[in-house]
Amino acid sequence: MEYRNLGSSSLKVSAIGLGTWGLGGPPFWEERDEGKAIATIQRAIDLGVNFIDTAPIYGFGRAEEIIGKAIAGRREKVILATKCGLRWKAESLGEMYRSLNPASIYEELENSLRRLNTSYIDLYQIHWPDPQTPLEHSMVALVMLQAMGKIREIGVSNFDVELIEKASGYSKIASLQSKYNVLEREIESDLLPYCRGHEIGVLAYSPLASGLLTGKYDQSHKFTDWRGKKNFGLFRDELFAPAMGKIQKMKDAMSNKPYTLIDCSLQWLLGREGVSSALVGVNSAEQMETNIKALELEIPIEAVDILDNIYKSS
């Protein structure tokens, strides 16, 4: 496993990190078997994955609870990242809300520590901006928690450059978590260059485009989770067909090769300057093993460049 500095922070994270949105199950995903989820996390650690990313909203606390069980007795082997700012009044999509006021942050952190069965969080991230709370109030609260030793580093997620600059006025920002993959590259216009220039590590979520870059789906597939609602990202009606057309071309280019679309997609992403870790979401230990093997293959640079060429072709 390759390990990379997370910006200029004190953390060194595995190039492949474990994203646990899916392990939380409903309301975004289908129900998950807890035993299988725990085994998946433990296998990832055995394979050298030291970075686990989660959030309270993933399964309304279930993902954090599963992680807490999985890392029992192995806390020193992992870098735990969780988040604050997305809360819920009841366990349904319509009852979620944003809150980054200090009292809410303190309460969220204590809940996360309890569910994760740990005394500290390595990377505590603002999940989404909260327009109702002045950012300086949120940052002061995070800095206080850091001074108390309850969090080691502060990160942000889904921030734009302006918000990162403002947050950096109150504390060093270790990382930005943002969507980034070979098909979704909005981050390249300003966020990625900014983070590189300011030594802020980039944590890429959805590195395989929520499963599309695994190559196992076609245009006729009917998704039964959040992807089937067709209201977000590449799953919107106007984007899905063009994306699947490019993916088919990519799959064709990989046919009869000793590497796959997954392999090339992950190597492409981890080859982008500034990316510290690709946060892969998996449902089994076998899927985790497949993703990690992508780092071990010697893939010609020309093969990885094919993805760029197809992306730019139409």
Of 287, 276, 238, give the one whose Cα is nearest residue 16: 276
Determine which one of 58, 180, 194, 205 is catalytic.
58
Is omega for the bond preceding 300 within 30 degrees of 0, making it cis? no
CA distance linking residue 14 with residue 11, whole number of Å: 10
How many helices, marked H, and strands, marked E, lie in the chain? 10, 12
Please, what's the b/e burial string for 137-166 (b: 16 or more CB within 10 A of its CB; e: otherwise)?
A: ebbebbeebbeeebbbbbbbbbbeeebbee
The reply to whether 58 belongs to the active site is yes
Q: HSE, CB side, 13 Å, CA atoms: give it for residue 300.
A: 6
Cα–Cα distance measured from residue 98 to residue 147, given in angstroms and rounded to the nearest whole number: 25
The two structure tokens encoding residue 186: 């909005």
Q: Which of 118, 119, 175, 124 is nearest to 146 (CA)?
A: 124
User: Looking at the annotation, which residues are catalytic?
Assistant: 58
